[in-house]
Chains A and B, each alone.
Chain A
Amino acid sequence: MQMLSRAWRHTLVRHATLAVLGLLVAVVVLMSVDDFRNRQLTELAYMALAAGGLTLLTGINGQISLGHGAFMAIGAYTTALLLQDPETALPLPLVLLASLLVALVVGVLVGVAAARLHGPYLAGATLTLAIAVPGIARYFSTTLGGEQGLRVTSPEPPAWFLDALFFLTGTEPSNSQYYAILGWTLLVVVFFLLANLIRGRVGRRWAAVRDDEVAAELAGINLARARVSAFTVSAAVAGLAGALMAIQIRLAAPTAFELTLSLTLLTAIVLGGLGTLSGAIIGSVVLVYTARIATDVGTAQGLDSIAAAELAPLVYGTVMILVILLAPAGLVGSLLRWRAARAARGADRRTTPPAARPTDPHHPDGPADQQRRPVATTKGDQP
């Protein structure tokens, strides 16, 4: 028992166990639901994947991106180009890898520029990206298909996959099940790797840069390198998510990657709670399913399909406002906070009561913030 709990504290053991369990549950669920649900769950997988990448960038490293949909577009178009001709199509793993790499390279370039920008400037720059990339796709209509986009010849499941699943479950998986299992496998593997990064030295540096860049720099962290690496990883993950999306919807078209997609991703991570991977999943679940449910309810109430589809943003907005009002740290964030507060209360009971100073104006030294001496001139953000 003690050995188990010691092993559990090891990052690799903990994350690997969760990954394997997660994958098992996913395969069992995906094999037992119909094609419609499988398509929905694939959508959830690529949205959660992209949201996970964005979590790392915005939640952990503190760089906002209003343009993450653009990296999904880059991944999707790469996949579409590579899968265009079934004769010369590369094997799927290579297609996915290529999509990831192209997004990664663009991510490095954008990341280098972004590392110098802060707050609204960064938001503006990434917003430009979100608008520019679909525009580029429209402009190069001969290679990228213009408004119509590129059809994607989604690959058939390989024989070994069919055999393996038939052996395990006794049924042949459909194409939809194949994409769903592919999507969830990628989600689990990528989240396993991201969780390792976040829990380890790399993620600690990213978070330090987010919280206080002066102190982080003094601790020996190269700010630019930390920011660019976070941007790169995040873009690569979004590229992979885009590849999956293209395979699922069998199309890479500009309308799929408009600004709304980027904003949806941002909404997902804010809903789930900035800074946790589980929050990215939960936020994506809320977004993907509220949209469906709202549309279904609308149709059931006799709305035509266009009006019903317009209900979704309304519901997003309402959910977002509710979360911001009731749980400003996001769904998972609030849970973690509540747990930390409870642990802190426990710790205080065990040790001495905390000194009253930080907020107590009657303490001889005054409250902490008023302790600063007045200075003659403003010092800006001088360290």
Chain B
Amino acid sequence: MPASDQVAHATPDPTSATPSATATPALELRDVTVRFGGVTALSAAGLRVAEHTVHGVIGPNGAGKTTLFNVACGFLRPDEGQVVRRGETLARLRPHRLASYGMSRTLQGLGLFDRLSVLDNVMVGADRHGRSGFLGTMLALPGATRDEDRLRERAMEALERLRIAEHARRYPPSLPYALRKRVALARALVAEPTLLLLDEPASGLSSEEMDELAALIGGLSGEMAVMLVEHHMDLVMKVCDRITVLDFGKVIADGSPAEVQQDPAVVAAYLGDDVADLDADTGPATDPATPTEA
């Protein structure tokens, strides 16, 4: 695992940024439709996430972004359509099998285990690398103890990478929000996924913290493909290689950040909010994430 200071390059190597159309994508969603009673949360939405790219998914509130993630993770079975991971159709995906497909996800909320220490939280994330079984653990056999040491080591590395190692023994509720978000990220990263799904990792972060996050995400594409749902447009425009725009459950645009920004359909979809939101230079002051109750 590279040290934290190596992570700072935000632009990944250009060959991987423009994937050839023929390569097998890390994840492909084919014509996914999800209905909740009368609400069609996703309607024939499709996208391809190429290996080693950061793929943004944006759209106004309620556009279906989290639903899309839930389908990709097996929390929701789509009414129509398929989830294809590296060419393999995941027909009966269950969330607890996700890790074994090399996928990891952070939740839109925090989803931390509040009564486990920060270290234990991250060790749960590392669990898929564990080998010890029930009897070994119960009898504290040497193999199980070594296994436990290895998991702890991995977890500590992940905590160091996110520079929260000194909080390893603390409990999440005692940490400031930004640090808790990092714990959640460490827990997702420690599984060493090859596809990472981040649902609004920047919500609640200050602009410096967001810059740090951007550097981190940019650096991740060397190791894995990243799917990023985010409302902070400056972050999205900075780190994403490709962006899919959802509106009312439909894909209305798909392309490079520059293409998407100029797309008239996208501009129209965001008119309800504020066209300026799509401008990558907008500071956090006019951030679309700030609640704008109409």
**What is A's interface to B at a CB cutoff of 8 Å?**
10-12, 15-16, 193, 196-197, 200-205, 207-208, 210-212, 214-223, 229, 275, 340-341, 343-344, 347, 350-351, 354-358, 364-366, 368, 370-377, 382-383
- Check A377 against B39 for contact (C-beta < 8 Å): yes
Contact B203 A222 (CB under 8 A): no
Q: Which chain B residues lie closer than 8 Å to A207 at the CB level?
A: 113, 115-116, 120
Q: Is B112 an interface residue (CB 8 A)?
A: yes
B206 lies within 8 A of A221 (CB):
no
A373 → chain B closest CB, angstroms: 5
CB distance from B141 to the nearest CB of A (A): 8
Task: Give 8 pairs: A residue, B residue, CB < 8 Å, sorted on A.
Answer: A11-B145, A200-B137, A221-B96, A355-B179, A357-B176, A357-B178, A365-B204, A375-B62
Please tell me if the beta carbons of B206 and A375 are within 8 angstroms of each other in the complex: no
* Partner among A15, A214, A344, A382 whose Cβ is within 8 Å of the Cβ of B140: A15
B contacts, CB < 8 Å to A: 39, 61-62, 66, 70, 73, 75, 95-100, 104-105, 107-109, 111-116, 120, 123-125, 127-128, 130, 132, 134, 137-140, 144-145, 147-148, 151, 166-167, 169-171, 174-179, 187, 191, 203-206, 231, 284, 289-291, 293
Neighbouring A residues of B70 by C-beta, 8 Å? 382-383
Q: Beyond A218-B73, A222-B96: 15 further Cβ-contacts under 8 Å?
A: A193-B138, A197-B138, A200-B132, A202-B137, A204-B116, A207-B113, A211-B112, A212-B113, A218-B104, A218-B111, A220-B100, A223-B96, A347-B166, A358-B176, A377-B62
A197-B138, A208-B113, A357-B176 known; A217-B167 Cβ under 8 A:
no
Question: CA–CA, A201 to B206, complex, Å?
Answer: 35
A368 to B128, CA, bound (A): 31
Which partner residue on chain B sits nearest A364 by CB separation?
B206
With contacts A220-B98, A354-B176 known, is A275 near B124, CB below 8 A?
no
Q: How far does the alpha carbon of A323 sit from the alpha carbon of B191 in the complex, in Å?
A: 41
Bound complex: CA A223 to CA B204 (Å): 30
Chain B's nearest CB lies how many Å from the CB of A14? 9
Please name all residues of chain B whose beta carbon is closer than 8 Å to the beta carbon of A372 when the two chains form the complex. 109, 203
* Cβ contact of B134, chosen from A10, A202, A204, A223, cutoff 8 A: A202
Instruction: Report the nearest B residue to A275, measured CB to CB.
Output: B115
B96 touches A204 (CB 8 A): no
Q: How far, in whole Å, are A12 and B148 apart by their CA atoms in the complex?
A: 12
* Chain A, residue nearest B130 (CB): A201
Residues in B whose Cβ lies below 8 Å from that of A212: 111-114
Taking a contact as CB atoms closer than 8 A, the residue among A210, A357, A358, A373 that contacts B289 in the complex is A373
Q: Which residue of B lies closest to A344 (CB)?
A: B174
**Are A11 and B148 CB-contacts (below 8 A) given A216-B124, A219-B187?**
yes
In the complex, what residues of A have CB within 8 A of residue B112's CB?
A: 211-212, 215
For the complex formed, measure the closest distance between the CB of B123 and the CB atoms of chain A, giving whole angstroms: 6
- B180 → chain A closest CB, angstroms: 8
Pair A220/B115 contact, Cβ less than 8 Å? no
